[in-house]
Amino acid sequence: MNLIILGAPGSGKGTQSAELINRYHLTHLSTGDMLRAEIAAGSELGLAAKAIMDKGELVSDDIVIGMIANRLNDKGALFDGFPRTIAQADALDALLAQNGRRIDAVIYLDVDNEEIVKRMLARGRADDNEATIRNRLSVFEAQTKPLVEHYRNQGKLRHIPGTGAVEAIAGRIRDALDTE
C-alpha cells in the first residue's frame, strides 16, 4: 500500500504517521524531515534549503522529487509533506508507475488555522515563529490545497477532521482506510 498524508503545516501529519507506518508496515518518507537532516549535516543542499524553509517558502520541486526518487524501495510508503504541488504529484505518479505501483489513498487532515497557529507556537521548531507560520499557511492555500481537489477527483481522498485527541484522529483514519 502507498499512502499520502496531506494537510496544512501543523495539522498532525508527523504525529499520525507514527502509528500508520507500524500498522501498515510502510516506509515513512517525510521531505521535511529529510531537509532538516540535510541542514543538521551542514550539506550544501541543507544550507540552501534552510534559507527557504526559514521563510516558509517551498524548496524547488526538482530537489524534493530527487530526494523521494532516491528513497523509494519495494516496501509500501507513507508520503508525509510530499507531494506539495501538482508537479510533485505528477512526478510521484510517474515514479511509482515505473514499478507498476500507485497511490492507494490520500489522508487529508483538516484543521482550522487558529488551532494550527496555537499548536505550532507551542512546539517552537525553527520555522515556528508567527511570520513564518503565516506564510507557510498561505503557501499551503495557494500551492498545496489544489491537491485536495486533484485527489478527490481520482476518488482517493479520505477527508479526516484533524482536531481532537491524537488517538481519536488515528481511529478516524483507521476507519477510513479499513473500508478500502
Query: For binding to ligand AP5 (CB under 6 A), which residues are involved?
Result: 7, 9-15, 31-32, 35, 52-53, 56-59, 64, 81-82, 84, 88, 119, 123, 136, 166, 169
Please report how close the Cβ of residue 44 comes to ligand AP5 at its closest, in angstroms.
16
Please report how close the Cβ of residue 155 comes to ligand AP5 at its closest, in angstroms.
23
Please report how close the Cβ of residue 108 comes to ligand AP5 at its closest, in angstroms.
12
Residue 29 C-alpha cell reads as 518518507
Candidates 36, 50, 136, 158; catalytic one: 136
Query: Which residues are at the interface with Mg ion (CB under 5 A)?
Result: 13-14
Q: Please report, in angstroms and rounded to a whole number, the separation of the first and last CA atoms in the chain.
A: 11
d(CA 5, CA 3): 7
13 is catalytic: yes
Candidates 84, 119, 158, 172; catalytic one: 84
Return the C-alpha torsion angle 169, 127, 5, 97, nearest 10.
Answer: -170
Tell me the residue number closest to Mg ion, measured at CB: 14
125 is catalytic: yes
In a 10 Å sphere around its CB, with 0-12 CB exposed, 13-18 middle and 19+ buried, how is residue 35 labelled?
Answer: buried
d(CA 65, CA 94): 11
Catalytic (active-site) positions: 13, 84, 123, 125, 136
